[in-house]
Amino acid sequence: MNNFLKTIARLVRAEPRTVLPHALTICHALALALTLTLAFATPAITRAEFPAGPRAGASHTVADLRLRWCPPGQFRMGSPPTEAARRADEGPVTVTLTRGFWIGQFEVTQAQWQRHLGALRGPLTAGVGDNFPVYWVSFLEAEDFCRRLTAHAHTSGELPADWEFRLPTEAQWEYACRAGTTTAFAFGDTLTVRDANLGKPYNGTADPTPGATATPVGRYPANAWGLHDMHGNAFEWCRDWYHTELSGGTDPDLSDRPGAPNRDGTHSRVRRGGAWNDPAGFCRSALRLRYEPARRSDHIGFRVVAVRK
């Protein structure tokens, strides 16, 4: 555009009697060039333009992922001593989250994985299809997906430079799962096969038996903030290292602090939410299990959060 204007100026200075009578035509050409430039440009979204949800559960889409808004707030993380199937590492503790965040409405799907990272891992014994959750994904690979997704969204202008995709912290995950509830599940103190994909027989074969695999995301009811499959379907990686005690307080994030070592001296990250082959007790909002970050399984996937750095 600058070169175009300089050319016109040179013509006016060199041939004023020839160029000036055609000034209107030149202005029309300039307006058309400006319109085309704006139409095909992809301006980066600014911090002010990236929305904070007007309410809990508000919807937004970035880089082909549908997200739901989780506002700042305080909640009781973990389980009370009276909760059925409770485990010793479930607190409870009080947590305050000072920043809102966007979280995936669904678990990351196989189609989304292929779009950003290529071939699926295998063997694909727990269901195959674009809308099935991705599994056989290690913590390290899930983090790589988040980095590539962030780079894609920055390049496309859908995500401002001071936001990024990550795996959720344990606190973010449970806060989103509960969606304001204090019961064992987002649907109350009981969970059935009408509420979630759980309790199915494990066969681990390449020819999945009906009723023995994951299901496409979104087949089961959403919680109060519009999130599907927080209970069951696939366990989900969290950002934190596993500690035997929950960390309460303000914005807890144990991603840089290895906790209790495993028997072989290694350390584990946390997985949440239960899976298609688990009983209801392992799908509770407070349930937390350890898993080594380099390992994979056919019942562990993940969902992402978009957070301000």
In what helix (H) or strand (E) does residue 172 lie, and over which residues does it extend? helix 170-178
Question: For residue 204, what pLDDT is reported?
Answer: 55
In the chain, % of residues over pLDDT 90: 76
Strand, coil or helix: 271:
strand
The residue with greater pLDDT, 53 or 144, is 144
CATH number, span 59-308 = 3.90.1580.10
Mean pLDDT of all residues in 140-157: 97
Mean pLDDT of all residues in 213-224: 96
In the chain, % of residues over pLDDT 70: 80
> Is the pLDDT assigned to residue 126 strictly greater than 60?
yes
276 close to 197: Cβ distance less than 8 angstroms: yes
Cα distances (Å, whole numbers) of residue 247 to 54, 169, 240, 261:
29, 11, 10, 17
Q: Mutual orientation of helices 139-156 and 110-117 as an angle, nearest 10°?
A: 70
Question: For residue 12, what pLDDT is reported?
Answer: 44
Question: For residue 50, what pLDDT is reported?
Answer: 67
CB burial of residue 16 (10 Å; 0-12, 13-18, 19+): exposed
User: In which residue are the tokens 């995950």 written?
Assistant: 173
> Is the pLDDT assigned to residue 273 strictly greater than 70?
yes
Bridge pairing between strands 101-104 and 93-97: unpaired
Question: For residue 211, what pLDDT is reported?
Answer: 52
Mean pLDDT of all residues in 53-76: 94
Mean pLDDT of all residues in 240-266: 96
Question: For residue 123, what pLDDT is reported?
Answer: 87
CA 151 to chain centre: 14
Following CA atoms 197, 199, 203, 208 in sequence, which dihedral angle do they give, to the nearest 10 degrees? -20
Q: Tell me the CB-side half-sphere exposure of residue 214, using CA atoms within 13 A.
A: 34
> Is the pLDDT assigned to residue 77 strictly greater than 70?
yes
Q: Per-residue confidence at 11, pLDDT binned at 50, 70, 90?
A: very low
Lowest mean pLDDT among 12-26, 245-259, 286-300: 12-26
The mean of the pLDDT values for the chain is: 86
